[in-house]
Structure 1
Amino acid sequence: MFKKLLKLSLAIGMFATFLQGASTFTLKLQSADPSGSINFKLQEKWAKTVATMTNSDIKIEILPVNSIVKYTETLDAIGAGVLDGEISSIAYFSGKDPAFALMGNTVGAWSDPNDLILFMEYGGGNEFMNKLMNPYGVTFVSAMTNGLESLVAKKPIRSVAELKGLKMRAPEGLVQAVFKAAGAAPVNLPYSEVFTSLDKGVIEAADASTLAVNAQAGLNKIAKYPIFPGFHSIPLMDLSINTKLWNKMPKNYQEIIKVSFRDYVRQIISTIKLSDKAEAARATATKDYTIITWPESEKIKFRRIAQGEWKKMSTESPNAKEAYDLITKFLKDNGMI
């Protein structure tokens, strides 16, 4: 009898080990952020949360930007199995379809990062992104954003009219097209050259990052009239995973990843908002630089100009047209245009 029980116990143990192994996943996700940045640290914290919630059945390694492939190549790398997933920016894939550009940074559309997240979760954005990414063997799991960017400037810019002739840095694509339509003279410069270009007077203003990040980079010391809160740019970012791998995961593990990542998104939005508010309060108290705040009427003017550029881009592909219709419907339904 003992031998029979022993054999049965060993068989059960081996079966349990098999089941545990079958439900264990190790994922390598490449981030769009460098190691050491606040975003990267929060992503690592999220990965630890997933491990805790799954009793280490899901282990996620966050890799810094460009560590395995170039930041513009992650979509193909995930589909090919070189990477298991990404936490990156949708606009990086604009060359594949203009819809990625329109969804990735709908310039002038959003005044608050939570509005973008609402659109993604309740306005059909998540579903549309899966339509775009599924053909590449990639599943769009969740949306995220880093927050509302602040325009840095060496002179006060208080209205759309004062953008006329302004020499400024704006990334190639929709951001550049919108500022050009608004009367500015945008040039394409890498972020690494923004400080030097402002300092030497090559440009007078720059689309860069959030108020606190710009301050940490020293941009507000030489461009002493930042516009805050920002009005032009909230980039859409994503958590996306190889579709075959995603489909192998039990539904409860998929839900843990989704829910925990949504919590991470709220953390990053709140962290950035608090950092920006603290920096604005510090700058006001010390008078290190002068914050310019646009009235809502000027934001609406800029958004109307931006809409014309969205519409132009919508003619470039069927997916871009669908993205345009989806975004504008949500904005109209919620009284934002």
Structure 2
Amino acid sequence: MSNKIVQDESVQVTAEASGTAAEPASASRRKFLGTAGVGAAAAAVGTVAMPNVSRAQTTTLRFQSTWPARDIFHEFATDYANTVNKLSGGRLKLEVLPAGAVVGALQLQDAIIAGALDGGHGVSAYWFGKHGAFSLFGTPPAYGWRANQMLGWIKYGGGKELYNELLRDVLKLDLVGFLYGPMPTQPLGWFRKEIKSADDLKGMKYRTVGLAADLYKEMGVAVTIMGGPDIVPALDRGLLDGAEFNNPSSDRALGFQDVAKNYVVGSYHQSCECFEVIFNRSKFEGLPQELQAILETGAEAASADMAWKAMDRYSKDLKALKDAGVKVTKTPENILQAQLQAWDKVIENRSKDPFFKKVLDSQRAWAQRVVGFDLEFEAPQEMAYNHFFKNS
């Protein structure tokens, strides 16, 4: 399949608004030419108005996710594409492909830069190997903030500008990207045995990504980085002793419950995260400005719907996992404390890089103010929940 932008031209008349099927371009052109003489004569006598005719051009972009087709994350990628396609009124079409259709999950960014794909959907932490700061825009330190508060920093706290600086100035990548889609706190992960203390994690072969890899290395864990589709097979073959991916819906669809029964949730290693959509910059800048705006604002529109859909699906799938015999426990407090101490060391080590520290300082200032406001202003959630539902 050609990887260049595909452009289809057709003639649309106002009758299309009634839902009638569009004619082939050649037939439309013949009809237009055949009636041109009549139209000209009518115009000459000034008695007949021409129908409202507009020329529409559809630009198709090949857009791959970093997720298997069965994962809810691929569904989120498709939801974003559908939002863009709808907002563009047919002028723009994102053709969505699952992970592996063109390249593997961890090769997506390079494929887009090379032009093998026009765009894609993933998380910025996957590009952690190119610069540690990529993970700050996806899996930052556990400052007590939630993912929506992190996205507030992206939008209003300077995060968007710093992200663009990383792409354009620091790494000089031929990319444009948008961050969206708040994710809840991720689980500590799936394990064959019960996890009761930080000592149980030492020496364990464990999968994670981004800055969490640094964090777990500080805790004595043997970290392996791999894409989502590869995790369950690795657990099944004993190549991993434990692993985290993201949420109950994704984990259930990927089949974690078939290879492990201990699901430990509520971890500080990735307490908030968001998605990233990226496009080849040259392709993006070759689009009309209104279509560029739709690709960006479409991410914000899809972000809200994604958050609401996740509330529904994640809670249902966590119950389904419990019903299937999975033991769900909270991360022990001693592990949470060990994670926070490890974060201190990761932050200290990584802050030797000037740009990393620049991003980190911006995040800290935002989190201190915004999370502080929340803690002071919001009513306690757990007290009210327990009052109404504890004995349900």
Name the TM-score, length of structure 2 as normaliser.
0.68
Give the percent of matched residue pairs that are identical in Structure 1 and Structure 2: 20
Which residue in the other structure is 1:207 paired with? 244
1:333 aligns with 2:389: no
Q: Is the 8 A contact 1:157 1:163 kept in 2?
A: yes
Letter in 2 for 1:213: S
Which residue in the other structure is 2:329 paired with? 292
When residues 300 and 327 of structure 1 are mapped into structure 2, their CA distance, relative to the original with a 3 A threshold, is: farther
1:43 and 1:195 mapped to 2: Cα distance? 22
Which residue in the other structure is 1:33 paired with? 67
Shift in Å, 1:178? 0.6
Higher relative contact order (Cα pairs below 8 Å, separated by 6+ residues) = 1
Shift in Å, 1:55? 2.0
Q: Within 5 Å, which residues of 2 pair with 1:140-179? A: 140-144=177-181, 147-150=184-187, 151-158=189-196, 161-165=198-202, 167-171=204-208, 174-179=211-216
Query: For the aligned residues, what is the CA RMSD?
Result: 3.7
Q: Deviations over 1:126-163 (max 9, x none)?
A: 2211112233222223433555332122333355x455
Which residue in the other structure is 2:148 paired with? 114
1:16 and 1:200 mapped to 2: Cα distance? 59
2:285 and 2:226 mapped to 1: Cα distance? 40
Q: Is the 8 A contact 2:207 2:223 kept in 1?
A: yes
1:241 aligns with 2:275: no
Which residue in the other structure is 2:124 paired with? 90
2:252 and 2:121 mapped to 1: Cα distance? 25
Which residue in the other structure is 1:311 paired with? 348
What residue ranges of structure 1 are gaps of 5+ in the alignment? none
Which residue in the other structure is 1:265 paired with? 303
Q: Is the 8 A contact 1:106 1:310 kept in 2?
A: no
When residues 244 and 205 of structure 1 are mapped into structure 2, their CA distance, relative to the original with a 3 A threshold, is: closer
Q: Is the 8 A contact 1:141 1:241 kept in 2?
A: no
What residue ranges of structure 2 are gaps of 5+ in the alignment? 1-38, 376-392
Q: Is the 8 A contact 1:137 1:244 kept in 2?
A: yes
Shift in Å, 1:279? 2.9
Number of paired residues? 327
Shift in Å, 1:224? 2.7
Q: Is the 8 A contact 2:179 2:274 kept in 1?
A: no
1:275 aligns with 2:313: yes
Letter in 2 for 1:290: K
Pick aligned residue for 1:232 from 259, 266, 269:
269
Q: Is the 8 A contact 1:311 1:324 kept in 2?
A: no
Q: Is the 8 A contact 1:163 1:182 kept in 2?
A: no
Q: Is the 8 A contact 1:221 1:289 kept in 2?
A: no
When residues 289 and 43 of structure 1 are mapped into structure 2, their CA distance, relative to the original with a 3 A threshold, is: closer
Q: Is the 8 A contact 1:168 1:203 kept in 2?
A: yes
Name the TM-score, length of structure 1 as normaliser.
0.78
Q: Is the 8 A contact 2:71 2:253 kept in 1?
A: no
Shift in Å, 1:59? 1.6
Letter in 2 for 1:270: W
Any idea what SS the aligned residue of 1:148 has? Answer: coil
Which residue in the other structure is 1:255 paired with? 293
Q: Is the 8 A contact 1:142 1:239 kept in 2?
A: yes
2:262 and 2:70 mapped to 1: Cα distance? 28
1:224 and 1:180 mapped to 2: Cα distance? 24
2:357 and 2:237 mapped to 1: Cα distance? 41
Q: Within 5 Å, which residues of 2 pair with 1:46-61? A: 46-61=80-95
